[in-house]
Amino acid sequence: MKIGPKFKIAKRLGAPIFEKTQTQKFALSEAKGGRVKRRRPGAMSDYKRQLLEKQKMRFTYGISEKQLRKYVTESVKKSPQPINYLVSRLETRLDNVVYRAGLAKTRQMARQMVSHGHIVVNGKKSTIPSQDMKMGDEFTVREGSRSSILFENFTETHESAAVPSWVKFDPKTLKGEIAASPTYEPSETLFDPEQILEYYSR
């Protein structure tokens, strides 16, 4: 999915939703902009607030409007806790798992890594970034891809502390497993899933 100018999108949405905008430069830019363009409390309509939250989620995971609508519909139909189900479904996409494991620096890079056939799931090569990973599923870098520049000096540069608890990953063997189901933590997200569910229920 082509996204466009990430810095401008992040500023418009008011959140550092892309990895390249999670910097001090962006924070300073937001602070300066906030002093000039501060809104009066209550100036934003419910619809616009919901729309912004929806866009934050969509751009965070790099998915299309059609895909997000599908995930929301599935969450409402299949679970009494649609927020947890929705976030878990997004987090367990194969491209996001590859990103969370630290195999790729960005979700976009992880998506390309999967699309180009570098990742094996349960012994079979996968080229589908949206593949749903379940607890117990194993993933690894394809044997023929291990000599790629993508994984050069990987052990030395991998940040194990950034890997979430629901992903078990060994940087030495480039192998991982889904150890648990992701849970929604409001403090760890840049969007409000409740507002997103309300947007699609209109």
SS (H, E, C) 39-59: CCCCCCCHHHHHHHHHHHHHH
74 or 21: whose pLDDT is higher? 74
In the block, tokens 């969370």 appear at: 100
Give domain limits for the chain. Answer: 62-182+193-202
Q: Is the pLDDT of residue 76 over 80?
A: yes
Separation CA 112–CA 7 (nearest Å):
21
Strand order in the sheet with 175-178: 124-126, 119-121, 138-141, 175-178, 167-170
Q: What is the pLDDT of residue 36?
A: 41
Q: Would you state the CATH architecture of domain 62-182+193-202?
A: Roll (3.10)
Hey, what are 56's tokens? 């934050």
Q: Is 140 exposed, middle or buried (CB count within 10 Å of its CB: 0-12, 13-18, 19+)?
A: buried
Q: Look up the pTM and report it.
A: 0.81
